[in-house]
Amino acid sequence: MKIIRNALGSVALAAVATIAAGTAKAEDFRLGLITPPPHIWTKAAEAFGAELAEASGGAHSVTVFPARQLGNEAEMLQQLQTGALDMAFMTVAEVSNRAQDFGAFYAPFLADDIDHAGRILRSDTAIGMLDQLPAEVGVVGVAYGMAGLRQIVAKGDVTSADDLSGLKLRITPFDPILDFYNALGAAPTPMPLPAVYDALANGQVDAIDMDAELIWVLKYFEQADTVVQSNHMMFPMVGLVSGRVWAQLSEDDRGMIRDLMAKHVDSTIDSYIENEQVWLDQVRDTGTQYVEVDQSFFGDAVDEWNTIWSEKTSMLDALRQVANDTAE
Ligand code: BEZ
């Protein structure tokens, strides 16, 4: 936030002008994310900042901090809660650590394919879930994006789920995915994104749960032997604004920020729909061992996950209903 000196140069008056809630004032917002600079989420954050600067006639700007420069997602969520950070594009995984209902998005095979995942995330039910974030987490959820569907990259041959049994398999640190790989009999190893490449390269983990973009762009497949295209879970993202910062914004600024952030966060869904199969085809064309599997590959693990999570959230049934209604 900028301190604006008034005509008399009075610091006290300037401070009053700055903290008056709900009045329009110039802001340089700080937006944090964990993804590296070339990632689709980071590009969307930069495009949002550019459009906000233009739409506000230069009154507002957004400085984007990619690649965990402001800390990991748990730390950034804390900063959003205190108002130390203004905005973030964050995995719904991290949000689900604080608001359990969001775990329902990770129901294995909830979405039939990536287009279907997009329709589920754009549904009124999914968007309505964001209403609980101000009270439960202290943030305003503006819209969903995504990072495609999850796949598995493993050292060694994988022809059945038994081949994953006991493997140290990197997961994003959150409960729904931990429960899934525990049910499968793997040894899920929670690890933040920036640590994954080295961990796979030096054998600290035997396999990773990952999306198509990063498997291809960050060349994870080169550090392993088999890519399993399983499409077993969607991986949503959410655009967040600090509740404290939101409370200080004028109605006009809230509207402008909500519309523009929603536009750019949502655009990531289209990017993944367009590119997911292209990335996977490029991986397959390298000649790496490539296995396509469906739900039956995972045996009882899917049912086991459903049993665990139907007790944790009623939103599982609600999102299943959306999935049925939007299936083709
Ligand atoms: C991951 O933890 O695998 C991840 C996080 C953010 C974007 C994409 C992937």
Q: Whose CA is nearest to atom 5 of ligand 1?
A: 193
Kindly tell me if the per-residue pLDDT of 296 is higher than 50: yes
The CA angle 147-195-182, to the nearest 5 degrees, is 70
Q: What is the pLDDT of residues 217-275, one digit of tens each?
A: 999 999 999 999 999 999 999 999 999 999 999 999 999 999 999 999 999 999 999 99
CA of 82 to the centre of ligand 1 (A): 24
* pLDDT tens by residue, 131-141: 999 999 999 99
State the pLDDT at residue 23.
60
Using a cut of 0.75, tell me whether the model's pTM lies above it.
yes
**Cα(172) to centroid(ligand 1), Å:** 7
Q: For residue range 19-39, what is the model confidence (pLDDT) as tens digits? A: 344 666 779 999 999 999 999
323: left (phi over 0), alpha (psi -120 to 50) or beta: alpha
Instruction: Report which protein residue has its CA nearest ligand 1's atom 8.
Output: 147
Both tokens assigned to 143:
């819209």
- Residue 46 corresponds to which tokens in the numbers above? 């930069």
Rounded CA gap, 302 and 108, in Å? Answer: 6
Q: At what angle do helices 114-121 and 315-326 cross, to 10 degrees?
A: 120
CATH 3.40.190.170 boundaries in the chain: 10-147+236-277, 151-233+279-310
Q: Which atom of ligand 1 is nearest to the CA of 147?
A: 8
Mean pLDDT over 181-205 rounds to 97
**Least trusted range by pLDDT, from 15-19, 191-195, 276-280:** 15-19
34, 92, 279: which to mutate for ligand 1, most atoms within 8 A of CB? 34
Expressed in angstroms and rounded, the spacing between residue 157 Cα and the centre of ligand 1 is 24
Cα(96) to centroid(ligand 1), Å: 14
Pair 169, 207: CB distance under 8 Å: yes
Q: What is the model's pLDDT at position 25?
A: 74
Residues at CB less than 6 angstroms from ligand 1: 34-35, 91, 147, 172, 193, 210-211, 214
Tell me the per-residue pLDDT of 58-112, one tens digit each, with 9 for 90 and over. 999 999 999 999 999 999 999 999 999 999 999 999 999 999 999 999 999 999 9
- Rounded to the nearest angstrom, the distance between the alpha carbon of 193 and the centre of ligand 1 is 6
The CATH homologous superfamily of the domain defined by 151-233+279-310: Bacterial extracellular solute-binding protein, family 7 (3.40.190.170)
The best mutation among 208, 235, 237 to test binding of ligand 1, ranked by most ligand atoms within 8 Å of the C-beta, falls on 235
CA 24 to centroid of ligand 1, rounded, Å:
35
Ligand 1 atom at shortest distance from the alpha carbon of 209: 3
Q: How far apart are CA 51 and CA 253, in angstroms?
A: 13
Whole-number Å distance, alpha carbon 252 to ligand 1 midpoint, is 33
Place 280 in a pLDDT band, splitting at 50, 70 and 90: very high
Q: What class does CATH assign to 10-147+236-277?
A: alpha beta
